[in-house]
Amino acid sequence: MTRAPAATWGQAAVSAVILGVLGLQAVAASASVEKRLWPFMNYPMYRRVLYDGQLVNRFVVVGRQDDGREVVLAPLDGHENYWLFFRTFIRPVIALEDNSADAAARRHVTAYCAAYREHYGRTLTDLRLENHPSRITRRGLQPAEPSVIGVLSVAPEPAGAS
Amino acid sequence: MSLARLWQRWTGYWFRPAPLLTLDVCRVLIVGNQLWELLGRYGFITSRAGLPEALYDPLPVFRLLTLPWGWNGWSSLLEGPWLYRPSAALVDWLFMLAVAVGVTALIGVYTRASLMAFALGSLLLQALAYSFGDHHHPEALTIITVALLALSPAGRTLSVDAWHQRRTWLTARSPMAGWPLATVQWLFAIVYLSAAGSKLAVAGWDWMNGFTLQYHLAVDATHNGVGLGLWLSRQHALVQALSWMTILFEATFFLVLLMPRLRWVYLPLGAAFHIGIYFAMHAPFFPWVVLYAAFIPWASVAGFRRRVS
């Protein structure tokens, strides 16, 4: 019985690595694995299709402070990335508005309100979700009529309340 | 086809002797770029240490790398609460360590060990940064590539290691020198093809109607304050033409694997594509342009002759 040379075993091991890497990338690219296989990812950016005259939503959250002042809420320190802000605050507020929020969405909104209090020294009492849509045209995006989707009360419960 | 014949064809493709110099030129370019990118992301990575605990949802690869400290049951390997989150001070230390091994990987001191440590450090830090709800695309392929280089005979020509051992075989070739770069080429083919497939599967041919790309340009350009992107988003006919070019480029890039000479067409096109996207939308895919180095036969370009290691 002849034994395989060491070079063959080396090639077999490297072949397993090649197949593993390309296999993981193929799975990540073709299946909905989100970020579970990161750094192997899918690349579906900009795939949403849009048409002439279509309205595109742009959501804005306006916060009412405990001093009555209203402010358009924006990323805080550490939330410097808009998409992080959108995913961890705007989207959860939308979910709370249409009653599809899960525990994580509630946690994210609570965390933002706490961070806001810490950052600005003011407590948010209400969050007003507004839509400032645009219409797609040959000349680019044109602003359309804004609307209020709803108002959420986020005032903290008074100390000692059950 | 018999198994032996199949194996012969497989090894003939992946393990045909390739110049070590090409591998090392790629190492220097890719590691240098990753080091530069990592230094540029210092603020982004370390600022994550200050984000609220409620946002902390480690990626599975981060959970795997910190397994002994964060283990919280089998289900926690993929999602849910994880018991370990590094302190801001530790993240700082890890960052400095990653930069240090990045430098040694770049200049070629204990090259393969440095490459592996740099790949792990980059993976850990980037995975931590993406453990708070958002994740992005430009870094992943480079990190995978650095890990592949660590498993190759990188560092045998352009390195301090080679100089120290007085074995600077600039003309040497090795059966193990070609596969990491060939794997990167295949990764690009899969990534581009899937990007085109993803658009066509969801949107069909309508993706090239011009309005789709006008919208994406306008949104990204508005968020990032890019004048060129805003101007472009108002040019319907031009954007429609760019949409077709994008799909054609992504869907046919794999042809470079079948006809390597096409690289001289596709690589400049791809570089223009990614640089153009940056100036129009601020999507930073420069690392991919550097990764194109894996397609270029550097030793032939430099005119070195064959010598099997």
Count of domains for chain B: 2
- Across the interface, which of B48, B140, B211 has its CB nearest the CB of A51? B211
Closest to B134 (Cβ–Cβ): which among A81, A110, A141? Answer: A81
Residues B122 and B31 both lie in one domain: yes
Do B274 and B194 belong to one domain? yes
Question: Which residues in chain B are closer than 8 Å to A114, comparing Cβ atoms?
Answer: 52
Residues of A in contact with B13 (CB under 8 A): none
Percent of chain B with pLDDT over 90: 73
For the cut 50, the answer to whether the pLDDT of residue A110 exceeds it is yes
CB-defined contacts A:B, below 8 A = 164
* B7 belongs to a structural domain: no
Between B165 and B116, the higher pLDDT residue: B116
Q: What is the mean pLDDT of residues A120-140?
A: 92
Q: Find chain B residues with C-beta within 8 A of A52's C-beta.
A: 209, 211
Whether A141 has a pLDDT exceeding 90, the answer reads no
* Per-residue pLDDT reduced to its tens digit, B186-201: 999 999 999 999 999 9
User: Residue A1 above 60 pLDDT?
Assistant: no
Question: B226-234: which pairs have CB atoms within 8 A and are 24 or more residues apart?
Answer: B226/B279, B226/B280, B226/B281, B226/B282, B228/B279, B228/B280, B229/B279, B229/B280, B229/B281, B229/B282, B230/A140, B232/B280, B233/A140, B233/A141, B234/A139, B234/A140
Q: How many CA atoms lie within 13 A of A136 on its CB side?
A: 22
Give the pLDDT confidence score for residue A128 in this predicted structure: 95
CB-based contact, B214 to chain A, within 8 Å: yes
Mean pLDDT of chain A: 86
- A22 chain-B contacts, CB cut-off 8 A: 183, 186-187, 190
Best B65, B77, B135 member to test A by mutation, with max A CBs in 10 Å, is B135
- Chain B 65-84, residues with CB within 8 Å of chain A CB atoms: 78
The model's pLDDT over A61-76, given as tens digits with 9 standing for 90+, comes to 999 999 999 999 988 7
Residue burial A34-53, b: 16+ Cβ < 10 Å; e: rest: ebebbbbbbbbebbebbeee
CA–CA distance, A88 with A90 (Å, rounded to integer): 7
User: What is the arithmetic mean of pLDDT over B173-190?
Assistant: 97
Question: Among A56-60, B7-11, B72-76, B137-141, which is the least confidently predicted range?
Answer: B72-76
Please state the domain extents for chain A: 5-46, 55-153
pLDDT in tens, A74-83: 887 654 567 7
CA end-to-end span of chain A? 79
**ipTM higher than 0.90?**
yes
Given B146, B177, B208, the domain boundary residue is: B177
Note down the domain range covering B256.
190-297
| Claim to verify: residue B43 and residue B166 sit in the same structural domain | yes
- A3-7, A105-109, B200-204, B231-235: least confidently modelled range: A3-7
In a domain, B11, yes or no: no
- Asked if B157 and B216 sit in the same domain, the reply is no
Chain B environment of A47 (Cβ under 8 Å): 198-199, 201-203, 207
B76-123 confidence digits (pLDDT tens):
888 778 889 999 999 999 999 999 999 999 999 999 999 999 999 999
Query: How confident is the model over B249-289, as pLDDT tens digits?
Result: 999 999 999 999 999 999 999 999 999 999 999 888 999 99
Domain presence at residue B220: yes
> What is the spatial distance between Cα A103 and Cα A96, in angstroms, rounded to a whole number?
10
Interchain contact B16–A (C-beta under 8 A): no
- Chain A CB within 8 Å of residue B195 CB: yes
Distance CA B265, CA B262 (A): 5
> What tens digit of pLDDT does each residue of B189-247 get?
999 999 999 999 999 999 999 999 999 998 888 878 888 998 999 999 999 999 999 99
Categorize the per-residue pLDDT at B168 as very low, low, confident or very high, splitting at 50, 70 and 90: low
Comparing B51 with A94, the larger pLDDT belongs to A94
Contact flag B195-A43 (C-beta cutoff 8 Å): yes
In a domain, B1, yes or no: no
Q: Tell me if B148 is assigned to some domain.
A: yes
In a domain, residue B307? The reply is no
- Quick one: B160 and B259 in the same domain? no
Can you give the pTM of this predicted structure? 0.88
For residue A108, the SS3 value is helix
Per-residue pLDDT at A162 exceeds 50 = no
Q: Looking at the structure, do residues B37 and B108 belong to the same domain, yes or no?
A: yes
Question: Ranked by mean pLDDT, which of A104-118, A133-147, B64-78, B139-153 comes out on top?
Answer: B139-153
Q: In terms of domains, do B96 and B203 share one?
A: no
Does B21 lie in the same domain as B169? Answer: yes
